[in-house]
Structure 1
C-alpha cells in the first residue's frame, strides 16, 4: 500500500498538470503553444538543465556511464524500431521516428524529478540532451531526408548541458544572485512543459487507433527492454538505472507530430500514436515506477 501511494504521489502531479492544459483548451481558452514552447525550450529548460548539473554532487564518472548507456540504448532502439517498421511494411518517414523518440522533456524530466529528486533530474537532463541531438540529426533525416547539425548547435539546451557539465567537472558555481535568477527561470520549465503537453494532446486528431494501440504497446516493451539491458550492461547505479529506463520508455513525443506535419509525412497517423501512447502511459508508467523504485 505504501508503494502504491508513493507511485501515485509521483505520477499524479504530472498527469494533473497535463489535464489542466487539456481542460484549458476544451473550455475554449486561448493557449499560444508556439510561444510557450519556444519560451520553455529557449530559456526555461536550458536554465533548469544548467543549474541542475552545476549544483549536483554526482560523480562525473557516473554521468559518463549514463551518457554511454544512453547512446547505446538509443542506437539499439533505432535498429530495433527500423527492423519492426520494415518487417511490418510501414512507411519509414511516418512511423520510424515516433517509434524511437519518447517524450523525455515534457514528461520524462518531471517524472524523474518527482521519482528520484534532484539527483534524478540531473541524470534525466543528460538523457534528454542526448535524445535531442539524435532527434535533430537522425530524426529529421528520417522524416525529411536531411539532418540538421546546425540546428543542434543552435539549441540552447545542448549548450546548457555542455556548460553545466563543465561547471560540474571543475566544481565552479555562478554568483549567488545569478544562480537564484537562473533557478527561478528554470522553475517555470516543468509546469509549462506539462500544461503544454495537455494542450497539444487536446488539439490532436487521432487516426488509425487500432494500429496506434499495437505500435504503442510494442514501443513501450521494446524501449523498456533495451533500456533495462543497457543500464545493466553499463552497471548503472539505482537512480541512474531508473532514470534511463523511465526516460527511454516515455510515450511518443509531440515533436514527432510537429516534424511529420512540417515535412509532409502522415501527421494524423503520428497524432494517433501520440494520443494513444500517452494514454497508455497513464497506466504503464506507474507500474514501471513501482518496479524501479
Structure 2
C-alpha cells in the first residue's frame, strides 16, 4: 500500500519540485503561460473528457450531489470556526470551500484510479469552478456580477462538452484527438506553475496558514465520508470523493483575495502551507480511499 501511494504521489511532487527549482533559479514570468493554460488547455481537457459517447451526465448526479455537500459543508465549518476564532469569514470560508481540484485533483485522480477517473474528476472540477466564480466571487464582493461565471472558458467548455455528449454527436476522431492532445498539456503545466508560484510566494501569517492548512483537509475528508454515507456512490467515485475532500486550498483563492483586497497575505499563507502539507495529508487520504473504498 505504501509503495502504491508513493508511486501515485511521486510524479505530482516531482513535477511541482521541478517548477519550484525553475522558479528559484530562472524566475520565469508564467503569466502568459497560465493565461494560455486557463483559456485554452484546461477547456480542451474539460471538453475532451465530457464530449464522449461513453459519458453520461446522469450517472454522475449522485457524485455531484455528494460533492456539493462537501463544498457547502466545508464553507459552513469555515464560517463557524471563523466566528468562534474572531477571523473574518470572508478570509477563511473561500479557501475552505474551494480546493485544488485542478492542479492536484485531476492528475491525482488519473494516477490513483486510472484514466476512466478523468471524467468524474472533471465533473468535480467543473462544479467547484462554477461555484467559485459565482458564489465565491459574490462572497468576497456582494456587488460582483455573477454573469462572469458563465464566461469562464472552462465552464463554457464543460457545457459544450456536455451538449455534445448528451446529444450523442460523434466528433471526427482526428479532431477529438487534437483537442485531447491540447488538453494533455494542462495538467503538467498546472503542476509546474504551482511549483513556480510556491517559489515566488512568501509566508507571513504562519499561524493562520498552518491552522487553515490542517482544518481544510480534516473537515473535507470528514464531510466526504458523511456525504458518502448519505448518498450511495460506486466504490471508485466514493474513493474519488474522499481524495477530493482532502485536497488543499486552490491557488485561485489567493488571486481572488488579492483582487478584492480580502487579507491576501493570510489567504496566500493558507494556500501555500496547505499545498506543502499535502505531503502529510494526501498519503493519509489515499490510504483511506484505496483501503476502504477500493479494497484489493
TM-score, structure 2 as length reference: 0.92
**Cα displacement (A) at 1:42:** 0.9
Q: 1:198 aligns with which of 195, 200, 204?
A: 195
Picking from 85, 88, 91, the partner of 2:85 is 88
1:78 aligns with 2:75: yes
Listed one character per residue, the Cα deviations across residues 29-77 of structure 1 (whole Å, up to 9, x for unaligned) are 1422221221111111111111112337355432111112222222222
The within-5 A match list for 1:1-293 is 3-27=1-25, 29-55=26-52, 57=54, 59-293=56-290
CA distance in 2, matches of 1:224, 1:107: 16
Q: CA deviation at 1:164?
A: 2.1
**CA RMSD between the two structures:** 1.6
Deviation per CA, 1:180-239, whole angstroms, max 9, x where unpaired?
110110110101000011111111111121232122212211111112211231111111
List per-residue Cα deviations over 1:110-139 (Å, max 9, x = no partner): 111111122211111111111111111121
Contact 1:46 1:156 in 2 (8 A): yes
Could you tell me which runs of 5 or more consecutive residues in structure 1 were left unpaired when the two chains were aligned.
none
Q: Deviation digits for residues 72-102 of structure 1, max 9, x if unmatched?
A: 2222222221111111110123222112211
Deviations 1:154-203 (A, max 9, x none): 11211222222233333332101211110110110101000011111111
Cα distance in 1 for partners of 2:125, 2:233 equals 17
- SS at structure 1 position matched to 2:104: helix
Alignment coverage as a number of residue pairs:
290
**Worse-matched range after superposition: 138-147 or 211-220:** 138-147
The answer to whether the Cα contact below 8 Å between 1:62 and 1:236 also exists between their aligned partners in 2 is: no
Shift of 1:16: 0.8
Moved more, 92-101 or 185-194: 92-101
